[in-house]
């Protein structure tokens, strides 16, 4: 029976593989990796460590090795490539698609980059690479590949097919042929399906689609992802300001953008800096987490100072302070919820956005509804548990105010961050949350001072 399954590693496989590696049993290694997909080989390489990985890598066929190199995790790859000779790297970069090649180049030192570009024989490829390494990876230009199939309106379908044959080796996945004018300006596209179904003598002019979506070269990667997702596109052409066709972005690159941005948001929300994973070392993980913890803790210390300041005037501080956690936790939760909703609507923004005024008004209504209900519960609970009317009144009035304030902060902060081009997901992170906690505490004690007539 054929193997039409995802490759799954067993502990046994890996142990046997490591054994073969110790014995330098090239035949076994080669055989056991036959038919294994590059993405799976990456996992094996990551598992066996950089030095052994290089040994296995050198046994792989050139094509597979190039794919493996592209699919390795960036951290691992950067370290991995350090041991490569210039001519090895230039060989792989030459056979890769220009977008992948440019990504590799950008991970190398400027000097090695120069040396590699000098080594590459194919002039066109060098031109493509030089063009691509200029763009930041978070704009369309940084995602696109230069390899694509172009056609003119007056070509026949037959000529298109010939052109595809010539380009087929360079272009891994062909979804469409792009139609350009004499100045290389994008006019439209013909899908591969359409070409296959059309008579060979038909002119491109008769069958091409005119009204197609393209993206500018400096459009943000996240925007490109939104557009491709919204309109269900497999590939999108990239044009410069003169509408000249300069490249194309395929859906697989965009899927990575979507996943990465979701991950980044989750990290910002959880208070973990930089791109760490569970299998990173203890020190790496500790270092990434510490700054956020220090921020949160500094907030706690300042909170103690605030409470201490008021305690001079308040003998009742002991009882009041029992409710500090309640006030702070609720304020914190409200703030995170508010910002999460705003962040979500900023991420999936549609044509019609509410004005700031409408947003704030609505936020106010929601806060009034939730704040009132929560305040009533708290009032009832304190009367029941502590039988202290003044305390119940202080806590519930403070709570309503804290909910209103936290909603306001939670709504306005991501909007402001977004305005200044900062990822608004940070508004759910420890820094802003801590700031909101402190504001809430101040409100609580101010109301206490007022109500206790001190």
Nearest to 158 by CA among 109, 201, 210: 201
Q: Which residue's CB is nearer to a second copy, number 133 or number 272? A: 272
Q: Which residue's CB is nearer to a second copy, number 134 or number 230? A: 230
Check if the beta carbon of residue 89 is closer than 8 Å to that of residue 81: yes
Nearest to 269 by CA among 436, 430, 434: 430
> Residue 446, interface with a second copy (CB under 8 A)?
no
Give the shortest CB-117-to-a second copy separation in angstroms: 27
Give the shortest CB-139-to-a second copy separation in angstroms: 16
Give the shortest CB-113-to-a second copy separation in angstroms: 26
Q: Which residue's CB is nearer to a second copy, number 10 or number 109? A: 10
> Residue 65, interface with a second copy (CB under 8 A)?
no
> Residue 74, interface with a second copy (CB under 8 A)?
no
Q: How deeply is 3 buried, as exposed, middle or buried, from its count of CB atoms within 10 A (0-12, 13-18, 19+)?
A: exposed
Candidates 16-24, 139-147, 368-376, 416-424 — which segment interacts with a second copy by CB under 8 A?
Answer: 368-376
> Residue 301, interface with a second copy (CB under 8 A)?
yes
Give the count of beta carbons closer than 10 Å to the beta carbon of residue 426: 19
Query: By CB under 8 A, what part of segment 154-183 binds a second copy?
Result: 161, 164-165, 168, 173-174
Query: By CB under 8 A, what part of segment 116-155 binds a second copy?
Result: none
Give the count of beta carbons closer than 10 Å to the beta carbon of residue 74: 10
For the four alpha carbons of 67, 71, 74 and 80, in that order, the dihedral sign comes to negative
Q: Which residue's CB is nearer to a second copy, number 84 or number 445? A: 445
Query: By CB under 8 A, what part of segment 407-436 binds a second copy?
Result: 428, 430, 434
Candidates 103-111, 113-121, 129-137, 318-326 — which segment interacts with a second copy by CB under 8 A?
Answer: 318-326
- 410-416 own/partner pairs: CB under 8 Å, 24+ apart: 410/334, 410/335, 410/336, 410/337, 410/338, 410/339, 410/342, 410/436, 411/338, 411/339, 411/342, 411/359, 411/360, 411/363, 412/360, 413/339, 414/339, 414/342, 414/343, 414/346, 415/342, 415/346, 415/356, 415/359
Query: By CB under 8 A, what part of segment 216-255 binds a second copy?
Result: 227-232, 234, 239, 243, 251-252, 254-255
Query: By CB under 8 A, what part of segment 320-359 binds a second copy?
Result: 321-330, 332-334, 336-337, 339-345, 350-352, 354, 359
Nearest to 235 by CA among 187, 174, 185: 174
Edge-to-edge strands, sheet with 235-239: 215-216, 235-239, 245-250
Q: Which residue's CB is nearer to a second copy, number 132 or number 343? A: 343
> Residue 99, interface with a second copy (CB under 8 A)?
no
Give the shortest CB-213-to-a second copy separation in angstroms: 6
Q: Which of 259, 274, 389, 446 binds a second copy (CB under 8 A)?
A: 259
Nearest to 404 by CA among 438, 355, 443, 450: 443
Taking the C-alpha atoms of residue 285 and residue 275, their distance in angstroms, rounded to an integer, is 10
Q: Which residue's CB is nearer to a second copy, number 2 or number 51? A: 2
Q: Which residue's CB is nearer to a second copy, number 85 or number 196? A: 196
Q: Which residue's CB is nearer to a second copy, number 161 or number 220? A: 161
Q: Which residue has the tokens 């929601």?
A: 366
Q: Which of 117, 307, 390, 451 binds a second copy (CB under 8 A)?
A: 307
Q: Which residue's CB is nearer to a second copy, number 38 or number 86? A: 38
Cα separations (Å) of 68 from 5, 32, 56, 253, 260? Answer: 19, 16, 11, 16, 20
Give the shortest CB-18-to-a second copy separation in angstroms: 12
> Residue 201, interface with a second copy (CB under 8 A)?
no
> Residue 437, interface with a second copy (CB under 8 A)?
yes
Nearest to 328 by CA among 189, 418, 442: 442
């Amino acid at each position: 029976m054929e193997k039409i399954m995802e490759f799954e590693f067993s502990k046994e496989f890996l142990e046997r593989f490591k054994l073969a590696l110790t014995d330098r049993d090239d035949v076994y290694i080669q055989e056991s990796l036959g038919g294994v997909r590059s993405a799976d080989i990456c996992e094996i390489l990551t598992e066996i460590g950089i030095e052994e990985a290089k040994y296995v890598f050198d046994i792989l066929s050139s094509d597979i090795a190039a794919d493996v190199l592209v699919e390795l995790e960036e951290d691992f790859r950067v370290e991995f490539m350090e041991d490569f000779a210039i001519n090895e790297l230039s060989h792989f970069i030459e056979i890769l698609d220009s977008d992948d090649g440019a990504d590799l180049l950008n991970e190398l030192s400027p000097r090695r980059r120069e040396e590699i570009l000098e080594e590459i024989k194919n002039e066109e490829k060098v031109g493509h690479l030089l063009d691509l390494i200029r763009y930041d990876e978070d704009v369309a230009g940084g995602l696109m590949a230069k390899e694509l199939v172009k056609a003119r309106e007056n070509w026949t379908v037959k000529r298109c097919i010939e052109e595809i044959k010539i380009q087929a080796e360079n272009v891994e996945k062909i979804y469409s042929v792009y139609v350009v004018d004499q100045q290389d300006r994008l006019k439209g596209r013909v899908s591969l399906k359409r070409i296959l179904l059309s008579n060979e003598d038909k002119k491109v002019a008769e069958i091409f689609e005119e009204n197609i979506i393209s993206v500018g070269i400096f459009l943000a990667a996240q925007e490109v992802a939104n557009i491709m997702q919204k309109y269900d596109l497999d590939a999108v052409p990239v044009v410069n300001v003169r509408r000249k066709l300069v490249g194309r972005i395929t859906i697989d690159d965009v899927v990575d953008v979507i996943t990465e941005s979701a991950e980044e948001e989750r990290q910002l929300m959880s208070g973990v800096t930089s791109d760490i994973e569970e299998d990173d070392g203890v020190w790496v993980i500790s270092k990434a987490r510490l700054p956020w913890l220090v921020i949160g803790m500094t907030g706690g210390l300042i909170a103690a100072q605030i409470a201490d300041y008021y305690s001079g005037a308040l003998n009742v501080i002991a009882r009041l302070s029992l409710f500090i956690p309640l006030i702070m936790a609720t304020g914190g939760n409200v703030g995170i919820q508010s910002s999460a909703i705003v962040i979500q609507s900023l991420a999936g923004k549609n044509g019609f956005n509410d004005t700031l005024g409408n947003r704030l008004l609505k936020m106010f209504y929601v806060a009034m509804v939730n704040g009132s209900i929560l305040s009533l519960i708290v009032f009832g609970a304190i009367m029941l548990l502590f039988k202290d009317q003044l305390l119940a009144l202080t806590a519930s009035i403070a709570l309503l105010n804290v909910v209103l304030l936290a909603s306001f902060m939670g709504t306005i902060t991501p909007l402001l961050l977004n305005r200044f081009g900062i990822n608004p997901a940070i508004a759910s992170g420890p820094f802003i949350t801590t700031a909101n906690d402190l504001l809430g505490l101040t409100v609580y004690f101010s109301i206490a001072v007022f109500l206790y007539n001190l």
